[in-house]
């Protein structure tokens, strides 16, 4: 065993120190290194020494991370699927509804079931399937309240649910006719025809017809 004093006194050569190296490490004299020594340690799959190219080391490191990356990707996909299911449940639970008084009671209806809203004097008629409802409200006020939920105004007396529109027919007069689910039709006047752009998120080739 080489003690500290022998090293300090210089009585032990580097070669003697290397002879007594641990069994799990190896050393070789090399003129290319600053100390003339290159030490290598055995690895599980490949041996790397201080003279090994950096690219080989990086390649080995990247390869060793692949199982971790695959595991993380699988976990991420599983979490995303769970979040998608939760989001669908929340959306279904929070489907927008409208509340109004009708014959001394308060009714709540899904907006998706309202095809159109028509002016009837100081009232508006909610074209709801299967039963229509008369509500004491102005059409202008209803148009503003329903606009964030996909309803568009097509006439001074009519607002329609854009998701209920199935067909647009241009007329020679510059107006349009809309056909809704169930077959009911409404006229779109030239004053409001620009609102037809909001009927779809993507127009292909025919957007200028609703300009």
Q: How far apart are CA 184 and CA 118, in angstroms?
A: 13
Question: What's the pLDDT score for residue 85?
Answer: 81
Q: How far apart are CA 113 and CA 129, in angstroms?
A: 6
Q: With 60 as the cut, is the pLDDT of residue 132 above it?
A: yes
Q: How confident is the model at residue 5 (pLDDT cuts 50, 70, 90)?
A: low
Question: What's the pLDDT score for residue 93?
Answer: 60
Mean pLDDT, all residues of the chain = 75
CATH classification for the domain delimited by 98-199, as one of 3.40.190.10, 2.40.50.1020, 3.40.50.1220, 3.40.390.10: 2.40.50.1020
Share above pLDDT 90 across residues of the chain, in percent, rounded to a whole number? 36
DSSP state, residue 210: G
159-207 pLDDT, tens digit each: 999 999 999 999 999 899 999 988 899 999 999 999 998 888 777 776 5
Q: Is the pTM of this model over 0.75?
A: no
Q: How confident is the model at residue 148 (pLDDT cuts 50, 70, 90)?
A: very high
Position with higher pLDDT, 94 vs 105: 105
Question: What's the pLDDT score for residue 78?
Answer: 83
Dihedral (Cα; 199, 202, 208, 211), 10-degree rounding:
40
Least confident of 135-139, 192-196, 206-210: 206-210
Question: What's the pLDDT score for residue 87?
Answer: 78
Least confident of 128-132, 144-148, 193-197: 128-132
Question: What's the pLDDT score for residue 143?
Answer: 95
Q: Which of 99, 103, 150, 143 is nearest to 119 (CA)?
A: 143
Q: With 80 as the cut, is the pLDDT of residue 25 above it?
A: no
- Residues 6 or more apart whose CB falls under 8 angstroms from that of 167 comprise 178, 179
Angstrom CA distances, 160 to 75, 113, 198, 209, stand at: 44, 11, 11, 19
Kindly list the domain boundaries of the chain, sorted by start residue.
1-50, 53-94, 98-199
φ and ψ at 137, to 5 degrees? -165, 150
Question: What's the pLDDT score for residue 160?
Answer: 96
């Amino acid at each position: 065993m080489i003690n500290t004093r022998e090293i300090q006194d210089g009585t032990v050569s580097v070669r003697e120190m290397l002879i007594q190296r641990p069994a799990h490490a190896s050393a070789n004299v090399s003129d290319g290194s600053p100390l003339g020594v290159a030490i290598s340690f055995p690895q599980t799959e490949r041996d790397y020494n201080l003279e090994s190219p950096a690219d080989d080391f990086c390649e080995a490191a990247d390869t060793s991370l692949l199982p971790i990356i695959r595991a993380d990707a699988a976990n991420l996909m599983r979490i995303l699927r769970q979040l998608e299911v939760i989001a669908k449940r929340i959306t279904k639970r929070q489907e927008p509804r409208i509340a109004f008084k009708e014959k001394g009671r308060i009714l709540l209806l899904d907006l998706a079931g309202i095809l159109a809203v028509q002016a009837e004097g100081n009232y508006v008629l909610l074209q709801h399937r299967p039963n229509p409802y008369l509500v004491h409200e102005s059409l202008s006020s209803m148009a503003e309240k329903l606009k964030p939920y996909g309803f568009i105004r097509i006439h001074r007396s009519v607002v329609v649910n854009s998701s209920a529109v199935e067909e647009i027919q241009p007329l020679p007069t510059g107006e349009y006719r809309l056909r809704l689910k169930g077959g009911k039709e409404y006229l779109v006047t030239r004053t409001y025809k620009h609102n037809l752009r909001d009927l779809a998120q993507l127009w292909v080739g025919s957007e200028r017809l609703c300009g």
